[in-house]
Amino acid sequence: MTGLSLGLLPLRRRNYRLLWLSSLTWYWARWMDILVTSYVALQITNSAFDVALIGFCRYVPVMLFGAFAGAVADRLDRRLLVVATTFLNALATLTIGLLFLSGRLEFWHLALASLMLGLSWSVEWPSRRAMIPDLAGKSLLIPAVLVDTISMNLNRAVAPLVGGALLATLSSANCYFVLAFLYAVGLVPLGLLRLPAQLVPQRTATLRFIAEGLRYCHRYQVVRGVLLITVVMNACFFPYTQLLSVVARDVLNVGPLELGLLASADGTGSLVGALLLLSLNRLPRQGTLFVIGSLSMLLALLAFALSSHFALSLLILGVAGLSQSAFATYQSTIVLGEVGDALRARVMGVLTVAIGSSPVGMLFIGAVAGRYGASWALGLSGGLGALLVLVSVALAPRLLTYAVPALRPVPPLPARPAVGSGD
């Protein structure tokens, strides 16, 4: 079986396909939301620090509540959790659109909405990712995560382009109405999705759940290494997206359409990289690829900080995205491959906390950009991040030799699956 054929197998499973369709619209709305909100914040405040502060508000709930959210996802119906948080996303963006339309929107409204979206994401992401082995089966874990990563990267490539075009042609209020509609559309496939009946939520004290997940992450060096590097990447690399609007306006001297191209460049590179990984089927030592991808992203960020030409900056972000496909894919597959079913959502919750380290980086680059400029902020962040990745590898050297366990043979699928079955 070719790598591409194996990669498409998860989509033959009805419930996984429904989750994938929901995630497709969710990713679309999320990446458009990040671009639109940062642009609107810059127009309202004309402050690089305030733009970074919006990113801080979006990610600080993830840092504070990620582990708790993972424990909740192990105790409650994950599908219902995703439905509830998706509805909250639609409500928050609709409210911002109405405030904009009435002429009453202020900066604190954007900050509060970002806090709500961050809180919902802290529950939504571990719940969605924890459902992947439930619906696709652990034998298809790597291709299932790759398909999800491809859909995420497709939207990272296309959604900012659409967001930039909407900002250039529509009012900001209408942009938020589009976002609310996209979030609402994602509820439709979730309403048809059913988790396997054998997955019964566990009834253990929440604090004990969290403690078990933390102990597991501390005990196993490979998982610990992934978490350390995830903290570094989310503190040093990913905050750059909050300053893209500042770089576009103040360094590259371009408008919203070009801003959309910049925001989509790393998504385009990630999409190409994920498709390449899918076609190659199985590569050895996923831990090494995870580390190489991380280092390459940070070095690309350093190069981006040094560039003052739009075309070159676009190319550099594309290279960063190509490397990011290895980081994003193997971050989840290494953790999910190492963790048993009973601990899966809790450990993904701890991973969510690691992802939530972004607020630290956003405050750092916001403060540096406010004093010395966006280029200095991004350059310092990229160089420091590369050094910290090397330190993380030194603390968890087994990560370099780690390989996800080989896939088991995939059983044939029934020709006519029962409606609502777990597949």
69-78 pLDDT, tens digit each: 666 666 677 7
Q: Is 340 helix (H, G, I), strand (E, B) or coil?
A: coil
Contact between residue 178 and residue 35 where contact means Cβ atoms under 8 Å apart: no
Of the ranges 136-140, 253-257, 285-289, 299-303, the best mean pLDDT one: 299-303
Contact between residue 133 and residue 317 where contact means Cβ atoms under 8 Å apart: no
Q: Flag whether 413 is in a domain.
A: no
Q: Flag whether 409 is in a domain.
A: no
**Which positions ≥6 away from 252 have C-beta within 8 Å?**
258, 262, 308, 309, 310, 313
Q: Flag whether 328 is in a domain.
A: yes
Distances from the Cα of 260 to the Cαs of 244, 263, 391, in angstroms? 9, 5, 35
- Give the model's confidence band at 421: pLDDT under 50 very low, under 70 low, under 90 confident, else very high: very low
- What's the CA gap between 382 and 299, in Å, rounded? 6
Q: What is the pLDDT of residues 113-168, one digit of tens each?
A: 999 998 888 788 777 877 777 777 666 777 787 788 777 777 777 888 888 888 88
pLDDT score recorded for residue 59: 79
Q: Flag whether 406 is in a domain.
A: no
Structural domain that includes position 147: 3-192+204-401
- What's the CA gap between 375 and 365, in Å, rounded? 10
Residue 302 sits in a domain of what CATH number?
A: 1.20.1250.20
Q: Flag whether 128 is in a domain.
A: yes
Q: Flag whether 417 is in a domain.
A: no
- What average pLDDT does this structure show over 371-400? 92
- What's the CA gap between 312 and 116, in Å, rounded? 36
Q: Flag whether 418 is in a domain.
A: no
Q: Does the pLDDT at position 10 exceed 80?
A: no
Q: Flag whether 162 is in a domain.
A: yes
Phi-psi region of 373 (alpha: psi -120 to 50; beta: other; left: phi over 0): left
Number of domains in the chain: 1
Closest CA to 226 of 329, 298, 103, 130: 329
